[in-house]
A and B are shown apart, each in its own frame.
Chain A
Amino acid sequence: MPHLKILFFLLISLKLQAQSAQEIIESADSKLRGKSSYSEMSITIVRPKWQKTMTMKNWSQGNDYAVSLVTSPAKEKGTVFLKRKNEAWNYLPSLERTIKLPPSMMTQSFMGTDLTNDDLVKQSSMVVDYTHKILGSQRILGLDCWKLQLMPKEEATVVWGKLIIWIDKKDFMQLKVEFYDEDEELVNLMMGHDVALFDGVKLPGKIEFIPLEDEGHKTIIKYDVWQFNKTIPSSYFTTQYVSRLK
């Protein structure tokens, strides 16, 4: 009987811990997204001998709606990526056509960067598709952080086999993420830098994605504008509006 009691307590505390891990991830996630968000950013692809930069504007509404407009370079300017729940479209201004994308396109590199389309539109949400566990505490950029482990749920169609995430305890910023493949081998690293205030929210203004198998390769995202909880008309997330975005 006492054993049963201990087991019961253990179960409860495990459940409590699981919940708080979930809460940490949720706080970090909702902080990034807000109810809605608008951002202007540059993405730089770094390779050993050259680099390439493009700029984008992004609008998002909750978890389900996101749209991105490429603003440079000239050749890609006006290209739009629209995501509504599990459906995605691509608008090509030179063809003046909106193309429905196959779901397999989501796991592919976004315009040659070290990020997948998925990473960008956050289809595979860290909240929904993974189970969460606190591993401990560690300091990143001098800030006290939770170290969490995320394992994909069985039914989730995600690319990664495991994620280790560091989130600071005070402001719930994601400061470091390790991406493991199905064989639990570390393949990608994400690092946050240049913490600043965006629209009153403390966030890393520069994020580096580093694929570990290719030396000298990385993708740097730099945020110039980042706003939260502004009213975005729902028409922004429609196939009819893609040619009007500016």
Chain B
Amino acid sequence: MRTTYFIASILFMHFGLLGQEKEHSWWKDRVQISGFVKYMNTASIANLDSMITDNLIHNRLRLKVNITNKLTSVVEMRNRIFYGEATSLNPHLGGLLNDDYGLIDLSFVPVDKQAFVMHSILDRAYLKYSAQKWELRVGRQRINWGVNLAWNPNDLFNAYSLIDFDYQERPGADAVRFQYFTGGLSSVEFAAQPGSSLDSSVIAAMWKFNKWKYDFQLIAANYLKDITIGAAWAGNIKSAGFKTELSYFHPKSNFADTSGALSLSTSLDYSFKNGLYLNGSLLLNTSGVSEPLNASSLFQTFIGDITAKSLMPSKLTYFGQISGAFNPKLSASMSLFYMQGINMLLCMPSIVYGIEENWELMLTAQAAFGSLSNTFKSMGSGVYLRLMYSF
């Protein structure tokens, strides 16, 4: 009782102080809280007569504290509540979600009932020291080295998939990252995500520079069991954007006798005066397959199993996107992925409507078509309706 009173009085004093002008501005200047809450309804259709629905409440909480002018702490939490048909059909969901692949387990499943699962994870938790010429980050963080829209072979620390539209922040990597700025647009960077051995670690260096109005980057890395070299550029051909990104992976064991894998993506994009945006990309994954897939879980091969080395299961994949805004509140896009050899087409139409300043409604579908027994037909689809509130 006495403790409660003590805590309450401290809180009271604290908020009392916050009310005062000086303290209030300290708080306002130093601490930033932001995030979103999303509700998403999913309908998965395996074939036309069976549909499974599910619900997801998804919250992201970002806390940024500028401890001093140079030292910042960033903590971001991803909280999700799953409930509905699909949740009750998957008794292992809680266990699957609880896996934290980082050095420290920052994942919690407070509720794991048959039709109701709650999961929380800290996917960012790092300290950042920003000096004028350099920056050091230690902890769980996103190291985004990607250049292209659709595929990022240079994104060695957390591979990104456009198909996983509801998690564009991506998981964090438990790593140390040091950047040294050698000029306005040039830097050298070193990042390490340590594992129990060299074969479970990613240790990489990158050199960035700008020449002939192009951004360039060169990478050398110990990427798990491979030695990797990578490169990328982003520039223009006339008024169209031209970006290319590649990484070559060579196994460390039997270095001389084995062949490596090349992951290369290149793209052209263009914006018309009326706001219409076009992007055409190509991905070459030499370790991919070129015959029809036999995957039990289709979307898992595109979302769950992707790495910088294998961003798509097929050897050659084409990507096209067209997007535009009907007005400042209503926009739409259509993305297509075609996997050559596997002979599969994935369509992703999407409509986004900004209801009010911080409210947004989105309707997205994903439909896969492929060749099964010599006929090209639907291989499953999902429809997602999402309401989002940002703060």
Contact = CB atoms under 8 A, between A and B. Distances in A.
A109 B390 contact: no
Contacts of A1: none
Contact of B144 (A73, A95, A109, A111): A95
A52 B358 contact: no
B119 interface: no
A235 B184 CA distance: 7
Interface in B193-217: 210, 213, 215
A224 B243 CA distance: 39
Contact of A104 (B36, B270, B354): B270
Contacts of A231: none
A238 interface: yes
Contacts of A107: 271, 273
Interface residues of B, number: 46
B271 A108 contact: yes
Contacts of B92: none
Contacts of B328: 45, 47, 52, 111-113
B241 A102 contact: yes
Contacts of A113: 328
B239 A103 contact: yes
B236 interface: yes
Given A113-B328, A234-B184, A104 B272 contact: yes
Contacts of A77: 34
Contacts of B168: 94-95
A96 interface: yes
B185 A238 contact: yes
B329 A104 contact: no
Contacts of B181: 235, 238, 240
B142 interface: yes
Contacts of B160: 95
Contacts of A22: none
B34 A238 contact: no
Q: Which of B147, B271, B275 has the most A CB atoms < 10 Å from its CB? A: B271
B226 interface: no
A75 B270 contact: no
A159 interface: yes
A47 B391 CA distance: 24
Contacts of A239: 184-185, 215
B240 interface: yes
Contacts of A97: 144, 146
B329 A74 contact: no
B257 to A, nearest CB: 38
B153 to A, nearest CB: 15
A97 B158 CA distance: 13
A17 interface: no
B174 interface: no
Interface in B138-184: 142, 144, 146-147, 149, 160, 168-169, 179, 181, 184
B275 A52 contact: no
Contacts of B243: 100
A140 B169 CA distance: 50
B275 A108 contact: yes
A237 interface: yes
Contact of B358 (A73, A84, A94, A109): A73
A86 B213 contact: yes
A102 B270 contact: yes
Interface string B207-236: 000100101000000000000000000111
B303 to A, nearest CB: 17
Contacts of B358: 73-75
A20 interface: no
B68 interface: no
Contacts of A238: 181, 184-185
A52 B184 contact: no
B329 A53 contact: no
Contacts of A73: 357-358, 390
13 contacts: A45-B328, A50-B329, A75-B388, A84-B184, A86-B213, A94-B169, A95-B144, A96-B142, A97-B144, A99-B149, A102-B240, A111-B328, A112-B328
Given A113-B328, A240-B184, A240-B187, 20 more contacts: A52-B357, A53-B357, A73-B390, A87-B210, A96-B144, A97-B144, A100-B215, A100-B234, A102-B240, A104-B241, A104-B272, A108-B273, A108-B275, A112-B329, A159-B273, A235-B184, A238-B181, A240-B179, A240-B181, A240-B185
Interface of B: 34, 36, 130, 132, 135, 142, 144, 146-147, 149, 160, 168-169, 179, 181, 184-185, 187, 210, 213, 215, 234-236, 238-241, 243, 269-273, 275, 325, 327-329, 354, 357-358, 360, 388, 390-391
